[in-house]
Amino acid sequence: MGLLMKGREREENIHRAVSRLANVVPVLIIMAGAEWLGSKHVLLQVWVYKIGGACIVFTVAMALSALLDALNGIYSRRPEGKTKSIKGYIQIGKILLFIVAAVLMISSLAGSSPLALITGLGAMAAVLMLIFQDTILSFVASVQLSSNDIVRVGDWIEMPNLNADGDVIDIALHTIKVQNWDKTITTVPTRRLITDPVKNWRGMRETGGRRIKRSLFLDQNSIAFIKEGELERLQRFALLKEYLRTKADELREWNARLGDAGCEVVNRRRMTNLGTFRAYVLQYLKVHPGVHQGMTVMVRQTSPTSEGLPLEVYCFTNSTAWAVYEGIQSDIFDHLYSILPEFGLRVFQRPGGGDLRFLER
């Protein structure tokens, strides 16, 4: 449907250009008819030529403007047109076109040479620079955006300073339109993408993996060594069999080198429920169908806080779609929260109203 509408718009622009060029014919007929006015109406004849020349220049400029719009429509249908917009350059071309047309029209009405008019405009250069300041800055920004490939149509960008968080839907000379996730439209000045921080999520989409970086906050009072009976119970976990066997051999060799000191339990190395759970989470992520195995998969502890001990899960999903990503992330943490008591660990949670009522009993 979108391509069909763009195709119709392109055809309309071409038809508009041809129809505007056709308007030149009546003007030429009127100018040719001015010769029949004779010597009695020389002044009127001169003004017919001047106004006719200005009308021809204006008509041709409007036709070329429509052709530029058609060119933009043709380019937008090409594969590269879906990511790199030339709308800003088209707008610059129109500005230059109408500046030239204005000079030619004024020179036609004034009956002077365009070069003489341009020379006279040199004194107004400072004024013109002030008037077109935003246009010049926007043009420079558009060139930088295009040459450095900073933003494309369809990119997901974030600009917190301007409340922009969504997909780029249009790149023009002065503004860039961003459709936020709540379907609102934020209009961002083009030059602000050069001067302000911009986060572009294109790299995430191109790599095909979206990062999960979330922590389980564990109650540090629940961390303990694994007792003999608990070790046998953990043998039921298929994901832990290789880890338990390898870890048991490592600890056995270590403790054997202690000699007589190994008789004391405090001198021996032992497995902990936290370390075993960390190994389980890592193996669980490595076999999870929603986790991208070609990217970083890691489970680590970070510095303890007053909210408990953070056990961070760091990995990437194999889909960048928002809904799919959230589903995979929730599925992982649903399982981890549910399996946590099997290791004798507890999640840290501030006491709530229900906890206080339970204590009062």
The three-state (H, E, C) secondary structure of the chain, written as one string: CHHHHHHHHHHHHHHHHHHHHHCHHHHHHHHHHHHHHCHHHHHHHHHHHHHHHHHHHHHHHHHHHHHHHHHHHHHHCCHHHHCCCCHHHHHHHHHHHHHHHHHHHHHHHHCCCHHHHHHHHHHHHHHHHHHCHHHHHHHHHHHHHHHCCCCCCCCEEEEHHHCEEEEEEEECCCEEEEEECCCCEEEEECCHHHHCCCEECHHHHHHCCEEEEEEEEECHHHCCECCHHHHHHHCCCHHHHHHHHHHHHHHHHHHHCCHHHHHCHHHCCCCEHHHHHHHHHHHHHHHCCCECCCCCCEEEECCCECCEEEEEEEEEECCCCHHHHHHHHHHHHHHHHHHHHHHCCCECCCCCHHHHHHHHC
Residue 35 to residue 51: CA distance in whole angstroms: 15
User: Do residues 150 and 200 make contact, with C-beta atoms less than 8 angstroms apart?
Assistant: yes
What is the reported pLDDT for 116?
A: 64
Q: What is the mean pLDDT of the chain?
A: 82
Our CA dihedral for 68, 63, 134, 160, rounded to 10 degrees, sits at -40
Q: Which residue has the higher pLDDT, 81 or 297?
A: 297
What is the reported pLDDT for 8?
A: 63
Domain boundaries, the chain: 2-131, 156-201, 208-224+272-361, 230-269
Under CATH, which number does the domain 208-224+272-361 receive?
A: 3.30.70.100
User: 156-201: what CATH class?
Assistant: mainly beta
Which range, 39-53, 139-153, 340-354, has the best average confidence (pLDDT)?
A: 340-354
Q: Does 131 score more than 80 pLDDT?
A: no
Q: Does 359 score more than 60 pLDDT?
A: no
Q: Which residue has the higher pLDDT, 361 or 28?
A: 28
Q: Does 63 score more than 80 pLDDT?
A: yes
